[in-house]
Amino acid sequence: MVPMSFILMMASNPEAAPQGGAAGGILGFLPFLLIFAVLYFLMIRPQAKRQKEQQNMLKELNQGDDIVTIGGMHGTIAGIREQDNTLIVKVADNTKIIIDRSAVGRKVTA
């Protein structure tokens, strides 16, 4: 609770009242801006970079590439269906499966 004498003093002497301005508003947002900058450089930017690399890898898949699905199944691409964005993957001698292109986790390199 503000004492009545303080209110009377502020009313009689307006120069004694604290002055709020644009600088106070900007400085009030500075911690939020710093937190956002840290989050951007530590979390958002690296995730976007990984996602872009994953999309490029999926676009560059060719027949004969060895892959591992996100479920952990290993196989070789036997065919590509562009119309429905799927792959035919050979997982054993006489066994082929059809998977979505987005189900590929990584490309196996020799």
Over the chain, what is the mean pLDDT? Answer: 85
- The pLDDT of residue 17: 47
| SS3 state at 65 | coil
pLDDT at 16 over 90: no
Q: How far is Cα 41 from Cα 37, in angstroms, rounded to an integer? A: 6
- The pLDDT of residue 91: 95
pLDDT in tens, 71-103: 999 999 999 999 999 999 999 999 999 999 999
What number does CATH give the domain 63-110? 2.30.30
* 91, HSE (Cβ side, Cα atoms, 13 Å): 12
| SS3 state at 27 | helix
Boundaries of every domain in the chain: 20-60, 63-110
